[in-house]
Amino acid sequence: MKKLFLISSYCNTQQKIEVLIKNLKTIKSLGCDTLLLSPIYLPTEVINNTDFYFQTKENPVTPVTEKCYIHWTIVRIGDKEYKLERFFPDYGWADLYQRKKLSQIGLTFDYDIYYHVIYDTKFTDELIQEIKEDKKNQYYSNVSINGDINEFSLHFLPLNKTLLWTLSDFLDKEKYVNSHDLTHDFLKKWSDRLLISKSDYVVEEEINYYSDINFFSHSLSDDYDLYLEKSETNELKNKFVFYNVKKNITFIINSEMRFEITDDTVIETDLYVKDIDKIEIQTEDNIIDYTNFYNELERCLVVKL
């Protein structure tokens, strides 16, 4: 049977590139073809290991004002509790958009099975056996490195041409944004509508996407944790949360407002985002400019409980 792997990617680190190259070679060793889509430049070694390579300038990440997801935690400062809410753009449509394009391109070629995968899908012996046995028209769950399980996964989705066409037709930005679903929940509606069965095998992944992210500290130092409040509107006066403070520090806003901090504290100001031009933190050893970091932040809220 003729088989084509439709590979979505955003390989912006050397680790991700190496995993992608390894998977491309594994797929080729199984006698299958590959169609790779990337919104960023990839090295020649990657391109030389693909059968079809498409690079696009499009990476339609949905802004937080349109659709987002939230991480939150509660910290205690003195006798008060504060809820830290950090908002991130929803990357779901950027992923689904790649799937739609991969499907549309793939449908122009004549294959018996089309496999939607992600660049870091883990090709275990069990998954390779699924491929060798020509399993298709069923969906798989996947487990992340953190142990979280998604009921419906695009880490491995083998379809015939007819079902690939229905998937491509189903993927629509307006429907996705208005659904309030995460990608796996949104796609589960597609599979339920078509009564697609579920495989017992659970697919694994190789990259922990969030291993280097501390969701609730913006600190660039080991001497303290810092949470910078920021809203895209000018209706919110900013608060700044310092906790796990190990050294005396000076918090400086606009080179004029100075706050001496010796312990965990919350700085409540009368400043809106538009009023803040510069943020610095000074210790005995150095001074760190947080201005660019702050300007690049998405919505981050501090709620006094």
- Could you give the CA distance from residue 24 to residue 277 in angstroms, rounded to a whole number? 47
pLDDT of residue 285: 80
pLDDT band with cut points at 50, 70 and 90 for residue 298: confident
Q: How crowded is residue 77: how many other Cβ atoms within 10 Å of its Cβ?
A: 15
Is the confidence at residue 64, as pLDDT, over 70?
A: yes
Half-sphere exposure of 23 (CA within 13 A, CB side): 29
Exposed e or buried b per residue across 10-22, where buried means at least 16 C-beta atoms within 10 angstroms of its C-beta: bbeeeebbebbbe
pLDDT band with cut points at 50, 70 and 90 for residue 30: very high
DSSP-derived pairing of the beta strands 113-118 and 156-159: antiparallel
Contact 34, 27 (CB under 8 A): yes
pLDDT band with cut points at 50, 70 and 90 for residue 233: low
Q: What is the pLDDT of residues 176-213, one digit of tens each?
A: 999 888 888 999 999 998 989 999 999 999 987 665 67
What are the helix (H) ranges across the chain?
14-29, 44-48, 92-106, 125-132, 161-170, 173-179, 183-193, 291-296
pLDDT of residue 117: 97
Is the confidence at residue 235, as pLDDT, over 70?
A: no
Beta strands in 165-286 (DSSP E): 197-204, 225-228, 239-243, 249-253, 257-261, 265-268, 279-282
pLDDT band with cut points at 50, 70 and 90 for residue 219: very high
More confident residue, 259 or 298: 259
- Could you give the CA distance from residue 209 to residue 220 in angstroms, rounded to a whole number? 20
Q: What is the pLDDT of residues 75-121, one digit of tens each?
A: 999 999 999 999 888 888 999 999 999 999 999 999 999 999 999 99
- Could you give the CA distance from residue 77 to residue 82 in angstroms, rounded to a whole number? 8
Please report, for the chain, the start and end positions of each structural domain, with discontinuous segments joined by +.
3-60+90-204, 225-304
- Could you give the CA distance from residue 57 to residue 60 in angstroms, rounded to a whole number? 10
pLDDT of residue 68: 84
CATH number, domain 3-60+90-204, options 3.40.50.1820, 1.10.490.10, 3.60.130.10, 3.90.550.10: 3.90.550.10
pLDDT of residue 137: 96
